[in-house]
């Protein structure tokens, strides 16, 4: 059901759109503006400083490894929790560079935009109970050959795909075979030698959402329908063998939430007449519906669905538009992380929904699991572009949301490969 304008007006009375949401807007047909608009969503998050203001270089145990130890690491424990660990020193260079990766996007190419420090590349994620193998593009392509993998979400899902394309291009160059007409929000790449297909399916809320228009101008506030899936991705499900699904950053703004025609409340509105909602309430509803849609999909195969958990931002000394930056050059230790921040609320509701969906999915041959990156990425304030993204769009604004390529975001694909490997070996056993 499309909201009638009467309904929109009605809920608008109950959560007034904050004026500052109109302050900055980029043209909506260009990709960089998507990421610029995304920065807007951090207005609120930035207020709550998620990092300790006084930072001391972690005196945690720094381990150095020689190159020959890095070759064929295999997790010694198949059940080991990949989400708990720390970043340790690593001498090896990243698998790709801004020369070798032809698909590396302009605004994640931090070195092109003047980033000088390189130390942030020399850390690897070490789970407490095992080793995480170095990304091996050949192993990855062998597991996924003949299959189709869809990445569903916002510009951070795209960041994940961009990292994967760069890593895999060391083995086979991806070919772009489809680009939707909405400014590159839907793109398909194919690896002909492995007949592997990657799709990126843009959906910043996963559910049906309409931008609120007040007096003829867009407001950057959205009306979310927790009972109505965003068909733009859901209709593609029958084509997928793997769905990597994520969302989060667009919920950090004044959004209106309703379900079944009933108005539930507003995110971040202090209007006394409206129920105040925090982003995790909406995120929980959205993931519940998204995973249910996958479970209920009649035409879908035995899909593996992985929820990539919330990816934290790291603005310090101010909000994104108030001079906030992220110019650290090394990781934090687990002891330095604030585990009470909003990113943990988001991640926790995501885990709960995956667990429920997994129980329901077992009978239907659907498997649900997580790529739980929230902890690892909380420790990487040094991994964002900061001011090194795009001089035209940046205009002195720091991007502390997305991640440099190469950089710590490549670890998401090491976790993805290890997760695929575990599920593939379970399939062999069954």
Give me the catalytic one of 83, 155, 269, 293: 155
Stretch that binds ligand NAG, among 57-65, 78-86, 244-252, 270-278 (CB under 6 A): 270-278
Closest approach, Cβ 377 to ligand NAG, in A, equals 20
Three-state secondary structure string covering the chain: CCCCHHHHHHHHHHCCCCHHHHCCCCCCCCHHHHHHHHHHCCHHHHHCCCECCCCCCCCCCCCCCCHHHCCCCCCCCCCCCCCCEEEEECCCCCCCCCCCCCCCCHHHCCCCCCCCCCHHHCEEEEECCCCCCCCCHHHHHHHHCCCEEEEEECHHHHHHHHHHHHHHCCCCCCEEEEECCCCCCEEEEEECCCCEEEEEEECCCCEEEEEEEECCEEEEEEEEEEEEECHHHHCCHHHCCEEEECCCHHHCCCCEEEECCEEEEEECCCCCCCCEECHHHHHHHHHHHHHHHHHHCCCCCCCEEEEECCCCCCCECCCCCCCCECCCCCCCCHHHECCCCHHHHHHHHHHHHHHHHHHHHHHHCCEEEEECCHHHHHCCHHHCCECCCCHHHHCCCCECCCCCCCCCCHHHHHHHHHHHHHHHHHHHHC
Closest approach, Cβ 105 to ligand NAG, in A, equals 11
Binding mask 158-197 for ligand NAG (x = CB under 6 A): -------------------------------------x-x
- Residue 299 in the binding site for ligand NAG (CB under 6 A): yes
271 vs 345, beta carbon nearer ligand NAG? 271
Distances (CA, A) of 78 to 139, 192, 352: 17, 31, 22
Binding mask 61-100 for ligand NAG (x = CB under 6 A): -------------------------------------xx-
66 vs 299, beta carbon nearer ligand NAG? 299
CB 191 within 8 A of CB 185: no
Cβ-based burial of 294 (10 A; exposed 0-12, middle 13-18, buried ≥19): buried
- Residue 146 in the binding site for ligand NAG (CB under 6 A): yes
Closest approach, Cβ 258 to ligand NAG, in A, equals 18
Active site residue 399: yes
- Binding residue for ligand NAG (CB under 6 A) from 50, 109, 204, 419? 109
Closest approach, Cβ 329 to ligand NAG, in A, equals 8
Binding mask 333-372 for ligand NAG (x = CB under 6 A): ----------------------------------------
- Binding residue for ligand NAG (CB under 6 A) from 24, 70, 214, 218? 214
- Binding residue for ligand NAG (CB under 6 A) from 63, 142, 210, 273? 273
Closest approach, Cβ 337 to ligand NAG, in A, equals 20
Active site residue 208: no
- Binding residue for ligand NAG (CB under 6 A) from 327, 336, 356, 422? 327
Active site residue 402: yes
Stretch that binds ligand NAG, among 181-189, 271-279, 360-368, 417-425 (CB under 6 A): 271-279
Active-site residues: which are they? 155, 399, 402
Footprint of ligand NAG (CB under 6 A): 98-99, 109, 111-112, 146, 148, 195, 197, 214-215, 235, 238, 271-273, 299, 317, 325, 327
């Amino acid at each position: 059901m499309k909201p009638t304008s009467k309904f929109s007006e009605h809920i608008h009375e109950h959560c007034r759109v904050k004026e500052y949401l109109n302050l900055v807007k980029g043209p909506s047909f260009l990709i960089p503006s998507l990421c610029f608009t995304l920065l807007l969503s951090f207005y609120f998050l930035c207020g709550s400083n998620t990092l300790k203001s006084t930072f001391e270089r972690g005196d945690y145990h720094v381990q150095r490894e020689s190159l020959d130890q890095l070759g064929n690491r295999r997790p010694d424990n198949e059940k080991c929790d990949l989400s708990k660990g720390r970043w340790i020193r690593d001498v090896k260079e990243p698998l790709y560079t801004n020369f070798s990766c032809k698909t590396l996007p302009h605004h994640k190419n931090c070195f092109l935009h003047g980033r000088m420090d390189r130390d942030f590349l020399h850390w690897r994620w070490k789970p407490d109970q095992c080793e995480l193998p170095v990304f091996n593009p050949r192993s990855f392509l062998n597991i996924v050959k003949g299959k189709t993998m869809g990445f569903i979400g916002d510009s951070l899902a795209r960041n994940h795909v961009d990292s994967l394309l760069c890593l895999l291009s060391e083995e086979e160059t991806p070919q772009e075979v489809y680009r939707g007409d909405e400014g590159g929000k839907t793109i398909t790449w194919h690896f002909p030698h492995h007949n592997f297909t990657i799709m990126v399916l843009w959906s910043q809320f996963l559910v049906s959402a309409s931008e609120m228009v007040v007096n003829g101008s867009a407001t950057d506030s959205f009306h979310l329908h927790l009972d109505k899936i965003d068909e733009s991705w859901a209709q593609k499900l029958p084509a997928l063998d793997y769905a990597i699904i994520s969302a989060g950053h667009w919920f950090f703004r004044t959004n209106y939430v309703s379900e079944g025609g009933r108005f539930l409340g507003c995110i971040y509105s202090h209007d006394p007449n409206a129920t105040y909602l925090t982003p995790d309430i909406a995120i929980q509803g959205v993931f519940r519906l998204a995973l249910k849609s996958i479970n209920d999909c009649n035409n879908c195969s035995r899909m593996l669905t992985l929820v990539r958990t919330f990816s934290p931002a790291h603005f310090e000394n101010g909000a994104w538009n108030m001079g906030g930056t992220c110019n650290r050059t090394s990781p934090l230790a687990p002891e330095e992380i604030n585990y009470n921040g909003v990113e943990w609320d988001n991640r926790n509701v995501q885990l709960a929904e995956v667990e429920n969906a997994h129980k329901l999915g077992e009978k239907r041959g659907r498997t649900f699991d997580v790529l739980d990156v929230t902890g690892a990425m909380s420790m990487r304030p040094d991994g964002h572009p900061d001011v090194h993204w795009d001089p035209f769009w940046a205009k002195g604004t720091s991007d502390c949301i997305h991640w440099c390529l190469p950089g710590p975001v490549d670890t998401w694909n090491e976790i993805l490969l290890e997760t695929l490997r575990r599920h593939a070996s379970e399939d062999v056993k069954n």
